[in-house]
Each structure stands twice: as C-alpha cells, then as structure tokens.
Amino acid sequence: MSGMFGLLVFAACAPLPSSTSTQLALEPSPKEERISTLEVALADALIEIEKMKAREPMASGADALPAIPPNAETGRCYAKLLAPPNYIDRIERRIVKEASERRETLPARLEWFDEQVLVSEAHVRLTVVPATYKWQEERTQVVPSKSRQMLVTPARYNTVVEEVTESPEEWVWRPGRGDIEKIDEESGEIVHQVYIPTRYRQIKKQILVEPAKYRKVVEPAVYETVRKKVVDVPEHTIEERIPAKYKSVKAQRVIEPEREVTHYIAPVYKEFSYREKVTDAKLAWRMVPCERDLNKELVYKIQRALRKLGYDTGGVDGVLGKYTLIAIHDFQKQKGLATGRLSSESIQALGLEF
C-alpha cells in the first residue's frame, strides 16, 4: 500500500511541460491541477486502507459467525440472517480531455470581421416520463371449500326377547329326619339330597335391521375481490436532439508582420459518483420475533404497514403467507436490512413497536 501511495503521489507531483512561447492559461491553473490530483490520490489511498482493514478480519478467521449470539438478551429469539454487503460512496474526478497547446500565427495588421462562434454544442436531452398506474381487481380465496356428512335415514332396530340361564340345575344337601334320610358320619346329623332345577330369565336385545344412511354435502369456497394498483406503462425516457447554436461576433484580424502565439488549453475534468463494495454479504445474528410473539395481531400490523408502502402482501389476513414473506424480503432489500426471515429490525423499520 505504501508503494502504491508513493507512486500515486509521485505521478501527481510530476511537473507540467514548459514552453518558451507565450501561453494563455485557461482554468484551472497548473497549481490547482496538482492540488486536485494529490487530493484524489490521497482519497484513493485512504479507501484502499479501509478495504484492507475490512479484509483483515476475514483472512484471520475473526469473521466466523459465533455459535451463540453475542450480547443475547434473556427471553429473546435470534436467527442467522444474510447481512447485505457494505459499500463506500466515492466521487472520482477524471480527465475527459487532455491539456494541449495551440499555436497561432498573427498577421502584422488587424482588421474587424464577422465570425460565427459556437455558443452550445449539439447534444441530446433526456426527458423522463413517469410511470402510469391502473387499478386491477383480483379474486382471493378467503375460506376453502369443505365437505360434511348429512344424515338421511336413521338406523332401524328390532327388539327381541331372549331367555338366558340365571342358575344351572344342581343337587344340594339339606337337614332331614327319619331313618330313610342319610346320616352324616362325621357330625351325626340327618341330611337328605334335594334337586333344584335350572332357573331362567328373559332379556331384551336391540338387533340392527337397517343401518343409517348419510350423504356427502360440499360447501363451496368463499372468495373476495381485492383491488390493487399495478403498473400500466413503466417509466421511460424520451430523447430530444438539440442542434448546435452559433452567434455572429466581431473579431479583429492582425494585419501587421506575423508573430507566433502559443495558447495553452487546460485539461477538462468531470466528476463521477459511484459505489464501491468494501465487504461481501455474510451471515450475521439478528433478533427475530419468537413464536409466542408472532401472533395474528402483529402480522396484521406488518401487512398494513407493507401495503401502505406499496408492497403486495396478498391481502390483510393475519397469516404470514407466501405474498407477505415476499413483500418482507423486498422491503428488507430496499432498506439494506438482513434477509432470510422476518427480523426485529425489519419490524422497527416499518415503524412498529416490538
């Protein structure tokens, strides 16, 4: 860098060619040219230093994105978004016409004569015609179609009576008397065996005769008509060619013995403005709204703010859909914000509190 800067300073300080003949200097003077050239060289050197500083962290690895957001706040959510590149606005003064010399031989005597002098050169004038817009209607689905089952005929049942066994038949021993009764050898009691027949009970049952019948009912989707402003004729330019203008002036001609005069014609400069990239786009941590904060009311506000700025969100429905996400991305690109998803800085740039 020091070598480049020295070369620039050296080239800026080179002396202008001298002439022994008479010179008529036009603006700017050689001293002013050297000062201006030095200023341009110094500005170029300073910008090169800034670019080297911006490239040093990338070369050393300090540019690596940390695994955890630095200075993260408790209760906040963060995400890796694509930060836009950084630019420097530059103004460069370039020479469009080199310095030159014009030698003129003047006659010994002078006389007056009429001469046509160029006042303004032929040029092209550009006129910008602004774009025109028109309103366009678009149908947007609000509620999708759905189907449901409607009961046509209920199921039919028959009631039948059925006997079921309550207790099976059995023989039981009961206390008895008389010699014909059996005597329990252990206790000495008289017992006899009694037969108990099977007992039944009746139950009622519902038997399906014919199942219920249903039919499918389809409810149509609900649409609404949305008017939006679209470009009818885009912005364009019209070229108008302006011819050169001349005027007649009185000039004096030398009629004495001729002599040679050298005219110095100063160089012509023009300033150009442009943007120079210093750093490329890179991933960076940005605060984003958490799921609990991204409610329907917040999405409503974001959609209204975007539509007020002229972005198409596909309607104001409180849903972070495809058109709303595209509008957020376009807004972030225009404002130079990090892209990739909805971030807190984008919400604040829309003038909303978060």
Does 186 fall in a domain?
A: yes
Q: pLDDT class for 21, splitting at 50, 70, 90?
A: very low
Looking at residue 321, its amino acid is G
331 — pLDDT class (breaks 50, 70, 90): very high
Q: Is residue 300 part of a domain?
A: no
- CA 341 from centroid of its chain's CA atoms: 8
In whole angstroms, what is the distance from residue 191 CA to residue 172 CA?
Answer: 10
Q: What is the pLDDT at residue 308?
A: 93
131-182 pLDDT, tens per residue?
Answer: 888 888 888 877 888 888 888 888 888 888 887 888 888 887 777 665 556 6
pLDDT tens digits, 22-56? 333 334 556 666 666 676 676 667 666 766 655 55
CA 354 to CA 349: how far, in whole Å? 11
Residue 215, pLDDT > 70, answer yes
Q: What is the pLDDT of residues 244-263, one digit of tens each?
A: 888 888 877 667 777 788 88
pLDDT for 330 equals 93
> For residue 46, is it within any domain?
no
Domain for residue 173, yes or no? yes
What's the sign of the alpha-carbon dihedral 87, 91, 96, 99? negative
184-211 burial code (b ≥16 CB/10 A, e <16): eeeeeeebeeeeeeeeeeeeeeeeeeee
Print the SS3 string covering 167-224: ECCEEEEEECCCCCCEECCCCCCEEEEEEECCEEEEEEEEEEEECCEEEEEEECCEEE
Kindly report the pTM of this predicted structure: 0.37
Query: Cα–chain-centroid distance for residue 150?
Result: 47
Q: Which domain holds residue 200?
A: 146-219
- The answer to whether position 192 is within a domain reads yes
User: Does some domain include residue 127?
Assistant: no
Kindly state whether residue 82 falls inside one of the protein's structural domains.
Answer: no
CA-derived radius of gyration, the chain: 50
Assigned domain for 253 exists? no
**Of all helices (H) and strands (E), which one includes residue 150?**
strand 146-153
Query: Structurally, how many domains does the chain consist of?
Result: 1
Query: What was the pLDDT predicted at 311?
Result: 93
- Helix 30-60, helix 2-12: angle, nearest 10: 170
